[in-house]
Amino acid sequence: MSFTRRQILSAAAAAAFTMSAPAVFAADRRVRIAVGGKALYYYLPISIAERLGYFKDEGLDVQIIDFQGGSRSLQAVVGGSADIVSGAFEHTISMQTRGQAMQSFVLQGRAPQVVFAVSNKTMPEYKSLTDLRGKKIGVTAPGSSSQVLANFVLGQAGVKPSEVSFIGVGASSAAVAAMRSGQIDAFTNLDPVIATLERDNLIRIVADTRKVEESDKIFGGPMVAGCLYAPTRYITKNPEIIQGLTNAVVRADKWLAKATAEELTATVPESYFLGNKAIYIDGFLKNRPALSKDGIVPDGAPAISLKALQSVNPKMAGFKVDLDAVYTNKFAIEANKRYPA
C-alpha cells in the first residue's frame, strides 16, 4: 500500500499533536496549594493525598507551598502566587467582609485541633485565664485561626485581645523553643508541638479542641477547621480541577479514618516526627477524631464560624454575611459517590 506526500505529512502532524497533548494537559492541570504548616495534623489529608499519589490519580500536577501560619498562605492566594489555600474555614467568611469571594469546597477537619496551653515555666501559679492579662500569648501567626481561638477563649473569661500581647511563633520547632525558653506565657498551637511539650510537663492545657465534644461545647456547635478553599471565580472557572482535588482529599480523609499508626508513619516524611516518632503517633491518635471522615461541611457550621469571628472582631457584627456563598458541598458529595469506601 502506497501513501501520497500529503498523507505522510498529515500523519506526521497528527503524531506530533498526540505526543504534545499530554504536556499541554499537564500544564492546564497544574495547581499551587498554599498551606500554613504542612506537617500539622490539621493539614494531614493533603500530605496523604500527595504521598499516596491521589492527586496524580486525578491527573493533577500539585505543588504544595508551605508558609508559617494560615494567614500567610491566604495572602499567597490573594497575591496570586498560589491558586488554592489549605487553611481555616473561617477565612472564607472574613474575606467576604473584605469584598473578596472565597469558597470552601472540601473539609479536612471537623474541629480546630487547636490547644490553648499555659506555660508551667513562667506561670507556675496559674489559676484562671484572667491571670493572663498583660502576658505574652503565642499564636502560629497573627490573624490565623489559632489567634481566633485564643481571642475566643480569653473573651469568654472577660479578657480582651488588647489586654494581652500576641506573638507569632509558628507551628513547629520554633513554637516549642519559644515555650521552652520562656519567651511566651501561653499559646494556642497544634500537635505535634503540644504533644512534645506535654511530654516534658512544660504546659498546662486549659482548652482542647482536639476533642470534638469539647470544641462543640466551647463554640456552641460544629466549629469546622482545615479545608481547601479558593477564590470563587477560580472554582467556577476550573470545576474539573476542583473535583479532582476534592476526590483526592476525600480519599485521604477516608484513609486516615482507618489507617494504623504504622501505616501513617510509613507514609509521611520523617521530618513530621520532630525527632520523636512515638510522640507523633500519640498526637495522631488524639487528633484523629477531629479529622473529617468525608470532606462534607456539616449543617450549621458556617453560622458557628461567623459567631466565633464576631466575638473577636466587633466590626463584623454589623456586616451581613452570605453564609451559603462561603462553601459548597457538591464536589465532596460527588467524591463520596466515586469513593464510597
Q: Where are the domains of the chain?
A: 8-112+223-278+290-338, 115-208
Architecture of the domain spanning 8-112+223-278+290-338: 3-Layer(aba) Sandwich (3.40)
Per-residue pLDDT, 23: 34
Task: Name the one residue in this structure whose C-alpha cell is 467576604.
Answer: 96
Say yes or no to pLDDT of 7 above 50: no
Neighbours of 91 (CB within 10 A): 26
Average pLDDT, the chain: 88
Per-residue pLDDT, 311: 75
Task: Name the one residue in this structure whose C-alpha cell is 498546662.
Answer: 204
| Per-residue pLDDT reduced to its tens digit, 25-35 | 345 889 999 99
Q: What is the mean pLDDT of residues 293-312?
A: 91
φ/ψ region of 269 (left if φ > 0, alpha if ψ in -120 to 50, else beta) reads beta
> Rounded CA gap, 93 and 321, in Å?
7
Alpha-carbon distance values, 63 to 58, 105, 224 (Å): 14, 18, 25
Say yes or no: do domains 8-112+223-278+290-338 and 115-208 share a fold.
yes
Better-scored residue on pLDDT, 17 or 240? 240
Alpha-carbon distance values, 312 to 134, 222, 223 (Å): 18, 18, 15
CA 12 to chain centre: 48
Per-residue pLDDT, 10: 41
Q: How much of the chain, in percent, has pLDDT values that exceed 70?
A: 91
Least confident of 66-70, 196-200, 273-277, 294-298: 66-70
> Rounded CA gap, 277 and 296, in Å?
30
Say yes or no to pLDDT of 39 above 50: yes
Pairing between β-strand 84-88 and β-strand 102-107 as defined by DSSP bridges: unpaired
**Side chain identity at residue 305, one-letter code:** S
Alpha helices in 181-323 (DSSP H): 193-199, 212-219, 232-237, 239-258, 261-267, 277-287, 301-312
Neighbour-count burial of 174, counting CB atoms closer than 10 A to its CB (0-12 exposed, 13-18 middle, 19+ buried): middle
| CB-based burial, 101-128: b 16+ in 10 Å, e otherwise | bbbbbbbbbbbbbbbbbbbeebbeebee
Per-residue pLDDT, 241: 97
With vertex at residue 242, the alpha carbon angle to CA 238 and CA 244, rounded to the nearest 5 degrees, is 120
> Rounded CA gap, 60 and 173, in Å?
32
Per-residue pLDDT, 222: 95
Per-residue pLDDT, 313: 74
As given in the structure block, the three cell numbers for residue 185 are 506565657
Task: Name the pTM for this structure.
Answer: 0.80
Residue ranges of E strands in the chain: 30-35, 61-66, 84-88, 102-107, 115-119, 136-139, 165-168, 186-189, 203-208, 226-231
> Rounded CA gap, 264 and 284, in Å?
9
Looking at domain 115-208, its CATH class is alpha beta
Q: What is the mean pLDDT of residues 73-86?
A: 91
Pairing between β-strand 30-35 and β-strand 84-88 as defined by DSSP bridges: parallel
Least confident of 66-70, 108-112, 320-324: 66-70
What single-letter DSSP state applies at residue 327? B
